[in-house]
Amino acid sequence: MSEHPAQRQQEQPRRSEAAATAPVPGEGRGGPEPEAIRFFGTTWLGHDGGYAARRVAVAAGSLTTAFAACLLFRLAYQGLEIAAVGSFVGVLVVVVFAVCGAVAFRGTWEGFSRRPADPAREESLRGLRTIGFIGSLIAYFLRSLAEAPGEGLRRREYETAVAQYERRRAARTGNPAARRRDGRGAKGPEAGRE
């Protein structure tokens, strides 16, 4: 059963009109949009859409991954002992992983509450954080016990942006006649009276 060519041509404009009127995320609503967080999207804003389950999954996943990484580290250390490279190399490896883990933990933990002041410095520490990824995983685990990692920072920024947007909107949509009476706008009949 084939369609008539005229019917097909009428269907195409209807489909394109429907696609053009479909809501696009972040467009047409006005106002600031909440920033998505890895593994949570924007569910942190209203604590909906499986937010609690996601927090449990992030906590369990980060703890499990950190535990597995510690087991791999233990196997690698045993490999060094079997190779008989010496106690100095063994101690050096442990110290390097401990320092890198501490740097990664601190950087990740601070990243949950503030934006980096110096992006170039953060970029230079990327190698240390990669080596000490266990510290980052532990930071994710601990933060996800209280909130979505980075939720506090995103919430403060979003609330500030909404408040600024509302102030700007109220200033734009205020009654022009009321502004004239206050003496802020053009002089009206009341502005001349003193």
Give the rounded distance of the alpha carbon of 148 from its chain centre.
10
Q: What is the pLDDT of residue 130?
A: 87
Mean pLDDT is highest, among 24-38, 64-78, 157-171, for: 64-78
Of residues 46 and 13, the one with the higher pLDDT is 46
pLDDT number for residue 192: 47
- Mean pLDDT within 1-23: 44
- At residue 172, the pLDDT reads 73
Q: Hey, what amino acid is at 142?
A: L
**Among 10-24, 144-158, 173-187, which range has the highest average pLDDT?**
144-158
Residue 156: what pLDDT?
A: 92
Q: Are 98 and 73 in contact (CB under 8 A)?
A: no
Confidence of residue 4 (pLDDT cuts 50, 70, 90): low
pLDDT score for 143:
93
Mean of pLDDT values over 159-182 = 74
pTM: 0.67
Question: Average model confidence (pLDDT) for the chain?
Answer: 78
Burial of 155 (0-12, 13-18, 19+ CB in 10 A): middle
> Per-residue pLDDT tens for 105-142?
998 999 888 888 888 888 888 888 888 899 999 999 99
52 CB-near residues (< 8 Å, 6+ apart): none
Quick check: 36 and 42 in contact, CB under 8 A?
yes
Give residue 17's pLDDT: 41
